[in-house]
Each structure stands twice: as structure tokens, then as C-alpha cells.
């Protein structure tokens, strides 16, 4: 009897141990759960926030910095778009490239916000092994008309419980970073890294001026 | 040695080789941009010329007409036009889904056509989508791709825009599959074709505005996005990874 009691106690300790482990694992959000949460939050925000619906770039930038940037490896995205020249870029050039690229991308999607109403989404089953360091999470955004394919590439951040970060996304089968790679290398081949930074910054200024004029015209 | 092969080879083989070489040379001679040329775009200088021509035609005629079409006609009318042409496309998609041995997509495509033609006033109303019967758009270029025909080099067609060598070869078949081309009354057929183009351009008005804002080089942007998009369509949204991306940036 006594022996049985011991065993039961051991079993309980074992079970508790497993429970604690489970908890630790749950703290590390799975990549598809992360995308599920971010998409849910984004759609809710678009639905609720009038400034976002109107494509207010400043407001979108604030929300992006708060809610999305912690889950993006934007340095990797920029580096991958810039290509081999990234290695020669100075720290200052790198941060300028990231800032200008980010502004360009935000403007890309800001215009689409007014159309993003009454959307639902679906996350496709994740096909990945537990040990994978990089995964693709596939989603479908549904509104009126044909559903829109939206996929994400995520990487596991090194370290325990550091979570997952997005480093590329795919709209209707077109990978964002890949679409900029040739254009960036064209600019770099012609005018160098500073030339690319200048081109990006000019484009961002022109876009800002254009959208400021738009409501009047 | 096989004597018959010997008598055949010396005559034919050099000629065939010479022809092939001439063909390859012709293809490559368009490639004046040297080592920086995009691997899928050996005809870039030629393509850029056509792109500029298309852009000029678009600015002068197509875009203004599409903009007027959007401003003048109420949204339900434009939706009706769009649905009507999409219904014709669904029929051709059904054929191509069958050619790609996709039974469910084939059945759903033809059910869509049936439902929309009968209950949706000849396709003007897209009831099938309301009934949650999904659309599976496929054309003959995708069918060729399904059976392993590679996309080949990027080609910009006059007026029609971005394509690939494979899709250009498939174009005559796709045109045969388009019911509009079987209308015997010539003015009616031409009007329908023009309306279809204007409808298509109208759908792209927002996208082309965005392209002007976000592309550093609209030609390159269009090409790189189009080639990825086509490949994605051939693999129904799940293409295998291409050669590892030149992820040149170091991690830190």
C-alpha cells in the first residue's frame, strides 16, 4: 500500500512536470497561431478605424510599428531585396534602406485599405515538422469576389521562446521581396547603394505629395 | 556502325544543328543587355519597346476609355458586364480543368455556367458564387503548364501585354475557346471584344495606379510579378520552391 502511494505521488509529480512543459510550449506561439492572431487584429482594426479605412499613411504607420513590426524581420526583408550589395552597405545606409523601403510598402497597402471591408479569412493547415526553423503559413482572404491568396514565410527566432518572425509575404502568388530584387539591383548597378536610397526617397516624397493633392483634385 | 544511320546523319544533322544555332542566335541577339539580363527575359530590349508602345496606347486611348466607362456606367451595370464575360470564361475553364484531369474543378466550373446562365440571366448575375460554388479559372496556357510545358521566355505582346512564349503559343487555342469569337455577326463580335477589353482595363485601374506609385521600374516590376503570378496559377497557388533565393544579406 505504501509503495502504491509513492508511485501515485511520483505519477502526480510527473504529470505536473508535463503540465509545466506544456505551459512553456504554449507560451511560444505557433507560426499559424501568430498569423491567425495578427490577421484577426488587422481586420478588426481596419473595420473599426476610420483613419485606416481612409488610407491615412501616418496612422497606418503608427499601428504597423505597434502591432506588426515586432513580428517582422524587416532587416532580413530589406537585405534580401537589396541582394549581394547589402554586405557592402554601411550601418547608416542599411537603416536608410530599411526606412525608405518600409515607407514605400506602407504606401502600397494604404490605398487598398478602403476596399478592405467585411473580410473574413481562413488559415490553411500548416504543413511543417515541429523542428522546422522556417515555415510557410498560407491564408485566404475572402470578401466579395474571388478569394485572395495571402501567404507568409516565417523564421524561428534563435533562442528559447523567442517566437516567429515574418520575412516575406505573398499576395496572389507574388512574393513581395522577390518582386523588388531585380529593380533594386538595376538601381544599384547603375547608381550604387546611395543611388538606390536617393531613388526610393524621391519616390516616397513624390507619392506623399501626390496623395496630399488627391483629395482636392 | 549502322549504315542507314550513317547515310542519314551527315546530311541532316549539320543542317538541323545550323538551324538550331540560328534560332538560338536569333533569340540571343535580342539580348543586348549583357550579363545583367534577367534569365527569364532574354528578349528584354524588344519587350521594353513593345511595353513602351503599349503604355503609349494605354495613356492615349485605353485608360481614358476605361476611366470614362467607370465614371459613366453605374456599378451594377459594370458588374453585370464583368459577370457575363466571367461566365463565358468559366465554360472554357471547365474544358481546361477537364484537360488537367481535375474532376471536381471541372464539375464545379460547368455547374457554375449552368446555374449562372439559367438563373443568372445569361450570366449577368453571379448566383453560383452566392451559392458558394468556387470559381476555378484555367486557360490553355495553364493546361500546357500542367502537362509540364515550361513557361519559356517572357514576352510582351502588343496591346495584350505581359505573356510568356508558352502562353503566346496557347493564345490561338484560348481565342477559339472564347465564345465571343464564335459570334458570326462581325460588328457584334468586335463590340463584344472591345467591351471585354474595356471591362478588363477598368478592373485594373486601381492596380495600375498603384504600380505607378510603388514600382521603381514599372517594366521590371510588371515582369517579375507577372511571371510569379503565372507560375502560381499553373500550380494552383502552391508552386514548389524555385532555386534557393539569393538571400545575400547576412542574418545580422
Mean pLDDT of the B231-246 span: 77
Whether B251 and A83 lie within 8 Å, measured CB to CB: no
Eight-state DSSP code of residue A72? B
Cβ count near A149 (within 10 Å) = 19
Minimal C-alpha gap between A78 and chain B (Å)? 8
CA A9 to chain centre: 46
Q: What is the pLDDT of residue A217?
A: 33
State the Rg of chain A over Cα: 22
pLDDT at A106: 85
* Averaged pLDDT, B18-33: 49
Q: Which helix (H) or strand (E) holds A75?
A: helix A74-82
Question: Is A82 in contact with B209 (Cβ distance < 8 A)?
Answer: no
What contacts 24+ positions apart, CB below 8 Å, involve A97-101? A97/A193, A97/A196, A97/A197, A97/A200, A98/A74, A100/A197, A100/A200, A100/A201, A100/A204, A101/A77, A101/A180, A101/A200
Interface residue B205 vs chain A (CB under 8 A):
no
Q: Give the predicted TM-score (pTM) of the model.
A: 0.79
Model pLDDT for residues B142-161, shown as the tens digit of each residue: 999 999 999 999 999 999 99
Higher per-residue confidence, B23 vs B47: B47
Percent residues over pLDDT 90 in chain B: 65
pLDDT band for position B7 (cuts 50, 70, 90):
very low
pLDDT tier, B138 (very low <50, low <70, confident <90, very high otherwise): very high
CB contact under 8 A, A84 and B231: no
Specify whether the CB–CB gap between B32 and B41 falls below 8 A: no
Nearest-Cα distance to chain A for B238, in Å, is 8
Greater pLDDT, B132 or B28: B132
Decide if A78 touches B, using CB distance below 8 A: yes
Q: Hey, is the C-beta of A139 within 8 angstroms of any chain B C-beta?
A: no
Q: Do A172 and B229 touch (CB under 8 A)?
A: yes
Q: How far is CA A20 from CA A16, A23, A25, A162, in A?
A: 6, 5, 9, 18
pLDDT digits 0-9 by tens, B29-87: 444 445 557 889 999 999 999 999 999 999 999 999 999 999 999 999 999 999 999 99
Q: Predicted confidence band at B9 (pLDDT cuts at 50, 70, 90)?
A: very low
For B228-248, what is the mean pLDDT?
A: 76
Question: Is A84 within 8 Å of chain B by CB?
Answer: yes
Cell triple for B32 = 543586348
Alpha-carbon distance A145 to nearest alpha carbon in chain B (angstroms): 8
List per-residue pLDDT tens for chain A, 217 residues long. 456 666 566 665 665 555 555 554 555 788 999 999 999 988 888 888 888 888 788 888 888 888 888 899 999 999 999 999 999 999 999 999 999 999 998 877 777 777 777 888 999 888 888 888 899 999 998 887 778 899 999 998 887 667 899 999 998 899 989 999 999 999 999 999 999 999 999 999 988 887 665 543 3
User: Does residue B35 belong to the interface with chain A, where contact is any CB pair within 8 Å?
Assistant: no
pLDDT (0 to 100) of residue A56 = 82
The per-residue pLDDT for A160 is: 65
Residues in A touching B211 (Cβ below 8 Å): none
Taking the Cβ of residue A187 and every Cβ of chain B, the question of whether any pair is shorter than 8 Å is answered with yes
User: CB-side exposure of B38: number of CA atoms within 13 Å?
Assistant: 25
- Per the prediction, chain B carries an average pLDDT of 84
By the CB < 8 Å criterion, does B76 face chain A?
A: no
Given this model, what pLDDT does residue B112 score?
Answer: 95
- C-alpha closest to that of A90 among A190, A170, A193, A179: A193
Cα(B144)–Cα(B170) distance, integer angstroms: 8
**CA nearest B206: which of B18, B17, B67?**
B67
Q: What is the mean pLDDT of residues B104-121?
A: 94
Nine-digit cell at B231?
507560375
- For A150, name the nearest residue in chain B, comparing CA atoms only: B237
Amino acid at each position: 500500500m505504501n509503495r502504491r502511494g509513492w508511485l501515485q505521488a511520483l505519477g502526480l509529480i510527473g504529470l505536473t512536470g508535463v503540465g509545466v512543459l506544456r505551459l512553456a510550449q504554449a507560451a511560444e506561439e505557433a507560426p499559424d497561431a501568430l498569423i491567425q492572431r495578427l490577421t484577426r487584429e488587422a481586420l478588426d482594426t481596419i473595420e473599426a478605424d476610420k483613419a485606416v479605412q481612409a488610407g491615412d499613411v501616418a496612422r497606418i504607420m503608427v499601428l504597423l510599428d505597434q502591432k506588426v513590426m515586432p513580428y517582422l524581420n524587416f532587416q532580413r526583408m530589406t537585405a534580401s531585396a537589396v541582394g549581394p550589395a547589402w554586405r557592402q552597405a554601411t550601418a547608416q545606409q542599411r537603416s536608410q534602406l530599411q526606412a525608405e523601403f518600409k515607407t514605400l510598402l506602407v504606401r502600397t497597402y494604404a490605398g487598398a485599405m478602403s476596399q478592405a471591408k467585411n473580410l473574413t479569412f481562413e488559415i490553411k493547415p500548416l504543413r511543417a515538422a515541429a523542428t522546422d526553423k522556417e515555415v510557410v503559413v498560407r491564408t485566404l482572404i475572402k470578401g466579395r469576389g474571388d478569394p485572395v491568396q495571402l501567404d507568409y514565410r516565417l523564421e524561428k527566432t534563435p533562442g528559447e521562446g523567442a517566437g516567429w518572425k515574418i520575412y516575406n509575404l505573398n499576395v496572389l502568388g507574388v512574393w513581395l521581396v522577390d518582386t523588388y530584387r531585380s529593380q533594386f539591383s538595376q538601381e544599384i548597378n547603375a547608381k550604387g547603394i546611395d543611388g538606390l536610397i536617393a531613388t526610393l526617397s524621391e519616390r516616397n516624397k513624390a507619392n506623399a505629395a501626390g496623395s496630399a493633392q488627391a483629395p482636392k483634385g | 556502325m549502322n549504315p542507314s544511320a550513317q547515310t542519314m546523319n551527315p546530311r541532316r544533322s549539320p543542317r538541323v544543328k545550323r538551324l538550331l544555332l540560328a534560332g538560338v542566335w536569333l533569340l540571343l541577339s535580342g539580348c543586348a543587355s549583357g550579363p545583367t539580363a534577367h534569365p527569364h527575359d532574354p528578349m528584354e530590349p524588344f519587350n521594353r519597346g513593345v511595353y513602351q508602345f503599349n503604355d503609349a496606347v494605354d495613356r492615349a486611348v485605353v485608360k481614358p476609355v476605361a476611366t470614362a466607362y467607370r465614371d459613366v456606367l453605374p456599378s451594377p451595370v459594370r458588374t453585370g458586364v464583368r459577370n457575363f464575360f466571367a461566365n463565358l470564361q468559366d465554360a472554357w475553364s471547365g474544358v481546361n480543368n477537364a484537360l488537367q484531369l481535375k474532376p471536381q474543378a471541372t464539375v464545379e466550373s460547368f455547374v457554375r455556367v449552368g446555374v449562372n446562365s439559367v438563373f443568372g440571366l445569361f450570366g449577368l448575375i453571379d448566383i453560383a458564387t452566392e451559392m458558394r460554388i468556387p470559381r476555378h479559372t484555367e486557360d490553355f496556357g495553364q493546361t500546357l503548364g500542367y502537362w509540364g510545358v515550361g513557361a519559356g521566355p517572357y514576352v510582351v505582346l502588343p496591346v495584350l501585354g505581359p505573356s510568356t512564349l508558352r502562353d503566346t503559343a496557347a493564345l490561338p487555342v484560348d481565342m477559339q475557346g472564347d465564345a465571343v469569337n464564335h459570334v458570326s455577326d462581325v460588328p457584334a463580335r468586335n463590340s463584344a471584344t472591345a467591351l471585354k477589353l474595356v471591362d478588363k482595363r477598368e478592373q485594373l485601374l486601381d492596380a495600375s495606379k498603384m504600380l505607378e506609385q510603388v514600382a521603381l521600374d514599372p517594366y521590371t516590376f510588371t515582369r517579375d510579378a507577372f511571371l510569379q503570378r503565372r507560375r502560381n496559377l499553373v500550380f494552383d497557388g502552391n508552386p514548389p520552391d524555385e532555386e534557393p533565393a539569393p538571400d545575400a544579406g547576412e542574418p545580422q
